[in-house]
Amino acid sequence: MKLGDPSLDQLRIFIAVAEHGSFGGAAKAMGRAVSAVSYGIAQLEAQLGMSLFEREGSRRPVLTPEGEGLLAEARGVSDGVDALLAKARSLHAGQEPSLALVIDVMVPGDVTAHVLGEFRRMFPSCALTLRIEGLGAVAACLIEGGADLAIGGPVIGDQPALERQAIGEIDLVPVAAPSHPLARSGIAPGESRRHLQLVLTDRSPLTEGREFSVLSPRTWRLGDLGAKHSLLKEGLGWGNMPRGMVAGDLASGALVELDLPEKPGDHYRLSALWRRDTKLGPAASWLVDAFKTGLAGA
């Protein structure tokens, strides 16, 4: 049997009847006459050579097994066309078709999750790729062309190839397990140098030879903030952590904030970064504002 070519309109009528449970409900939702909906289903069934709804013995159309099997495919076709049209409208409006974003590991995870969730709702046609990096590796992604926009910290200094817009800051606090020798009060100056410090390492050469709040000559260099967090709770060393990430541990007593004479904690200032030879589009500009708002409330 030779099958016909269903139209997009016929598929959308099919979906509407299935979702609303009646020809009348579908007609009302689509702003059509019931006769137009009934005709559309009849035409689609003729094109496919099968019945999609059981009409006998019931006041409401019930999907046949064949109709059940084809409904997901019809929805996929309809959704695909909607996505194509949305992207075409976005391109006409100047929105970026894709965006590569790199975020500093110090940015609170709940802020990142909320912003990116809203981004997907606001810009469904923009294909977003995401990387999480630390320290100079954030800027390196931009400089090397691996990202269009970055949310990064201050440790790289001023890079002539990059534009920078301050968007907020987070508190870094020195912490250790309560059993650690530095957790007691009255720590003498220089005592921290006698103990292992857990340090977030830079995966890029941009900060080669530079140290940031490193007091001890005894260090373990870690590329993952989550691993550093776990080792701190095990009492294997001391180190600086974003206050928001360890707030629960400080409240429960799993970690304690250290009162060191050197006061190694700091305000970690965050900026939106992009290359000076590019211009931020609507989606990237929205991300800058959203992260600024999110960090202000963190």
| CA nearest neighbour of 99 among 80, 113, 120, 84 | 120
Q: Is the pLDDT of residue 91 over 90?
A: no
Assign 5 a pLDDT band (cuts: 50, 70, 90): confident
Assign 174 a pLDDT band (cuts: 50, 70, 90): very high
| CA nearest neighbour of 108 among 170, 150, 164, 174 | 170
Average pLDDT across the chain, whole number? 86
pTM over 0.75: no
Q: Is the pLDDT of residue 234 over 60?
A: yes
Q: How far apart are CA 159 and CA 139, in angstroms?
A: 8
Assign 86 a pLDDT band (cuts: 50, 70, 90): low
Q: How far apart are CA 140 and CA 147, in angstroms?
A: 9
User: If you count them, how many residues does the chain have?
Assistant: 298
Chain segment 185-199, per-residue pLDDT in tens: 888 988 888 999 898
| CA nearest neighbour of 259 among 195, 188, 198 | 188
Assign 215 a pLDDT band (cuts: 50, 70, 90): low
